[in-house]
Amino acid sequence: MDSFIINGGRPLSGTVRVHGSKNASLPLMAAALLTDQPLILRDVPDLSEIRNMTRLLGTLGCEAEQGGAEPGAPDAGGGDRAMTLHVTDSSLTAAPYEIVKTMRAGICVLGPLLAKRGRARVSMPGGCAIGDRPVDLHLRGLKALGAEITLDAGDIVAQAPGGRLTGGHVFLGGPSGSTVLGTANVLCAAVLAKGQTVIESAACEPEIEDLAGLLIQMGAKIQGAGSPRLIIDGVEALSGADHRVIPDRIEAGTFVFAAAITQSSITLDNFPTDALGAALDRLHAIGVDVTPKPTEGQPFDRHRGSVSVTPADVLKPIQVFTQPHPGFPTDLQAQIMSLLCLADGNSTITEKIFPDRFLHVAELLRMGADLTRNGPSVVVTGVGELIGAPVMASDLRASAGLVLAGLAARGTTTINRVYHLDRGYERMEKTLQTLGADIQRVNEADL
Ligand code: EPU
């Protein structure tokens, strides 16, 4: 297993390009199951989670071919990389436990399989480090389209009567708002269903808007993408498509926080300003500014433009509530907590999506942070400095928060088990090295 060793306190400078979005790519890849024609996806990041999805699709008769720049090539940014997905055997309908248990997003093959092949057997994903993560809303939505669903030996077994789903009215709101992958599943199921489907309380996340954009390009009839009300008129068949994945708003946000916590100015290309409204608002309140860098003679591209980050002299304390999009994303909660550890006063962070997603709290305490947790809220009392320490967190974003803390801390921080980070950040240490950080990847056996 690999670890990161970070010698903190180095300012960052320079420019990096934000990669394509992991959480957009996963359901986009699953959508390849909806067509017999090739689907080309551009700028899919090179991550372990994506490789797992490729393996899962392989077990379902959908082959993946990589083109363009080699995965792992020195930072060409990945923008010219293309993945072609093509179904060669549509008789396979079982998503095995061995793969789904490693990746919760495996659940997003359920809707496409049911829509195109009329049946599916997908292992029920278990809980994970950030919470129980039920899938009741996914199943409720698919049942409203006529699916017959049972549970057998830990697998969800679903069938479309007569081989085809029928449009229906679906409400996808749960105790914490809508569900992102649940919306992806029901949307993919509805595009090939007979008749009209209305999804109320649909997730408005940019990743769902991107999925709807791809499906429309494939021939689906969808209105309301990006809003809580989706209207889908089912079609008989979908074609292939060539689609560029949106930039990863969470990776983008993480690098803004990296600049902010090291009091550095950096430039980020392929930056999704519009998708990060709440995070940019909170950063502005803290005193950190992210400003457009328009290319001469062209209007600023709010989806993929270049921005510069200007740090604050003094970080102001603030309140943060994580919420479904367009609210502040739960996937940036750990990162903003690390930053607020160095603010001048008391901040409060309340987690409204995953109330137990605080694995980073105990580790930040080991680095000298002053944090008091009370249920889904944490009071963050600013301290003068963080102090390097060996730390570990078994959640992707918690680990990202710890890397940021390590970049700012006095002394050496060792982040263990970075395979959690590798699930969601493409060679994070390389990107940070490009910006001048003192960070190395080492094998734990060599420590
Ligand atoms: N929920 C239910 N029932 C369901 C589904 C969800 O009650 O059937 C609840 C969840 O327990 C949670 C809330 O609804 O409280 C939202 O969960 P959601 O279903 O939206 O999460 P998800 O779709 O499984 C995606 C991202 C997560 C991100 C969440 C919230 C992917 C692959 N994953 O998960 O990303 O935190 O949305 O924005 O898109 C990450 O990248 O680190 C990550 C965990």
Instruction: Tell how far the Cα of 125 is from the centroid of ligand 1, in angstroms.
Output: 12
Q: Is 375 exposed, middle or buried (0-12, 13-18, 19+ CB in 10 A)?
A: exposed
Could you say which DSSP state residue 101 is in? T
Tokens of 437: 């950080």
**Annotation marks residue 204 as catalytic:** no
Question: Does 183 have pLDDT greater than 70?
Answer: yes
**In this predicted model, what pLDDT tens digit does every residue of 354-403 receive, in sequence order?**
999 999 999 999 999 999 999 999 999 999 999 999 999 889 999 999 99
Beta bridge partners of 150: 157
Q: Could you give the domains of the chain? A: 2-18+247-446 (3.65.10.10), 22-244 (3.65.10.10)
What confidence category does residue 78 fall into, taking pLDDT thresholds of 50, 70 and 90? low
pLDDT of 239 higher than 80:
yes
Q: How far apart are CA 6 and CA 208, in angstroms?
A: 35
Task: Tell me what the mean pLDDT of segment 56-61 comes to.
Answer: 98
Strand order in the sheet with 39-42: 62-67, 82-87, 39-42, 241-244
Task: Provide the pLDDT confidence category of residue 127 given band limits of 50, 70 and 90.
Answer: low
Instruction: Kindly report the protein residue whose alpha carbon is nearest to atom 18 of ligand 1.
Output: 179
Q: Which two structure tokens, joined as six digits, stand for 18?
A: 């934000």
CA-nearest residue for atom 16, ligand 1, is 179
Q: How far is the CA of 105 from the centre of ligand 1 (A)?
A: 9
pLDDT tens for 187-238 read: 999 999 999 999 999 999 999 999 999 999 999 999 999 999 999 999 999 9
CA distances from 98 to 58, 63, 101, 125, 292 (A): 13, 19, 6, 11, 45
Mean pLDDT of 280-284: 98
Q: pLDDT, tens digit, for every residue of 135-149?
A: 999 999 999 999 999
Q: In this model, does residue 74 exceed pLDDT 70?
A: no
Give the model confidence (pLDDT) of 12-44 as tens digits: 999 999 999 999 999 999 999 999 999 999 999
Query: Per-residue pLDDT tens for 296-324?
Result: 889 999 999 999 999 999 999 999 999 99
